[in-house]
Amino acid sequence: MARARIFIQTFGCRANQYDSDMMRNLLAPVYDIAAEDPDVILLNACTVTGLAERKARQAARRMRRQYPAVRVVVIGCLADAVAQGTTHFPDADLLAGNSWKSQIDYVIQQALSGTCGRLASTSFGELSAERSHGPQGRIRAFLKIQDGCGRTCTYCRATQVRGAPRSKSIADATAEARELLADGFPEIVLTGIDLAQYSPLDGCLADVLVAIASLSELRRLRIASINLSGITPELIEAFVAHGIVSPHFHIPLQSGDDRILVAMDRDYDFQGYLNAIERIRSRIPHATFGSDIIVGFPGEDETAFANTCRIVQTVGFVNLHAFKFSPRRGTAAAEFADQIPVDVKQRRSESLLTHWEQGLGRTLDNRIGSSQDVLVEEHREGCWRGYTHDYLYVKFPSDQQIPVGSILPVRIIRRMGATLEGVNDHRISAS
């Protein structure tokens, strides 16, 4: 009997990417994971913005047109939002919330047997039972050590759809990291819904960073987005003590205006944010930073927006996720007065990115003439490509056959837009 064919498509954050890898590992022994002629399309879908939801709906409709008999299963945050009545997804045959991800084999069985509608919520399993063997064809693997959120940000559904904060033990996280290294991934990225809320019984975020950084096979370790409250002195010192940890900090700002931060129910002010950046730079002068910013939040006037642009220029973020505020039904901010017109949000988004590009250009120009250790990820369009230790994108030509996953010293000679270009000195480090 032919095995059923499952196609998995992922939308949203790194935690979702990890979850899809985990589900793929659970399904692969029983089903064929394939994009062509699937029996089931599994959409691991996001609800953080209206755009994310539209992308999932478009994918479902496109697959339905191409494969009329396919069963469409929506799993994760978007399915939970449907269950809570804050959105809809009529193109799905079956919906299953985040708590079903660790039981994905049952979900697929139900879909193949013709079950329609929504699976009732079940309890979340232990994070320590979750395992991923990483994405196929990549050198970077995500390791989810935390899930859930206990914050009350007025614009966000994460608390509603991801459940209470949960942490994977340091022992289990370290064991999973060993498995990823054995599977050939030289770089690991620690991720979660809110890493600042990581609180296992056997330690803290700094402790898990140290434990995994000490693994001999690891070439590079990075942490994904972390809220400001997670930037502790212990964490900074862990970065200082372990050179293998990438000195890149992605710290969501959301707004650079104190009045807007209060309306968002964020737990810091703009000066506290800048103070944290300075604390990091005082110990790690070469650190780089990324951030998330929402433009057009209700009540954001030109002064508030200018305050945000000022911080973007002051910090000099090397990557920036700029979101136009998207009212999400069921959140407090969706009901706030002084909603910002769409055209104003678009103009501010474009202006913010211009400010960001100026700061990025200064940071990249400062690297010209330096030698940077680049973890090589791919060869494309005649150039080898990868990221520096502090997470800057580099491409360089070479007539060598360079093993993907190697760390290569590259001398930076110029900048083209957001990309550094360089030449290598032909010394390859592969161990």
Give the Cα separation of 228 and 225 in Å (integer): 10
300's CB contacts (< 8 A; 6+ apart) are 255, 257, 260, 325, 340, 348
The domain segmentation of the chain, as residue ranges, is 5-118, 125-246, 248-366, 371-424
pLDDT score of 431 more than 90: no
Per cent of the chain over pLDDT 90 is 90
At the top level of CATH, which class does the domain 248-366 belong to? Answer: alpha beta
Q: What is the mean pLDDT of the chain?
A: 94
Q: Is the pLDDT of residue 381 over 60?
A: yes
Mean per-residue pLDDT, 309-318: 95
Instruction: Evaluate the CA torsion angle 236, 241, 246, 247 in order and state its sign.
Output: positive
Residue 168 identity (one-letter amino acid): K
Q: Stretch 181-208: mean pLDDT, rounded?
A: 97
Q: What is the pLDDT of residues 53-90, one digit of tens each?
A: 999 999 999 999 999 999 999 999 999 999 999 999 99
What are the tens digits of pLDDT across the range 267-297?
999 999 999 999 999 999 999 999 999 999 9
What confidence tier does 226 reach under pLDDT thresholds 50, 70, 90? very high
Judge whether 347 and 296 are in contact, CB under 8 Å: no
**125-246 in CATH: which number?**
3.30.750.210
Confidence band for 1, pLDDT divided at 50, 70 and 90: low
Report whether pLDDT(113) > 80: yes
Provide the pLDDT confidence category of residue 2 given band limits of 50, 70 and 90.
confident
Q: What is the pLDDT of residues 293-307, one digit of tens each?
A: 999 999 999 999 999
Per-residue pLDDT band for 430 (boundaries 50, 70, 90) equals very low
pLDDT exceeds cutoff 90 at 158:
no
Mean pLDDT of 318-346: 95
How many angstroms separate the CA atoms of 195 and 226, rounded?
5
- Superfamily of segment(s) 5-118: Methylthiotransferase, N-terminal domain (3.40.50.12160)
Is-same-fold flag (125-246; 248-366)? yes
428 has a pLDDT exceeding 60: no
pLDDT tens digit string along 239-251? 999 999 999 999 9
- Give me the CATH code for the 371-424 domain, please: 2.40.50.140
Q: Is the pLDDT of residue 425 over 90?
A: no
186 contacts 375 by C-beta, under 8 angstroms:
yes
pLDDT value, residue 426:
59
Quick one: pLDDT at residue 427?
52
Q: DSSP for 216-256?
A: TT-SEEEE----GGG--HHHHHHHHH-TTB--EEE---B-S
Kindly state the average pLDDT of the residues 98-105: 96
Please give the Cα distance from 139 to 404 (Å, whole number).
8
Q: What is the DSSP string of 296-315?
A: S-TT--HHHHHHHHHHHHHH
Alpha-carbon distance of 36 to 27, in angstroms, equals: 17
- Between CA 2 and CA 15 the distance in angstroms is 32
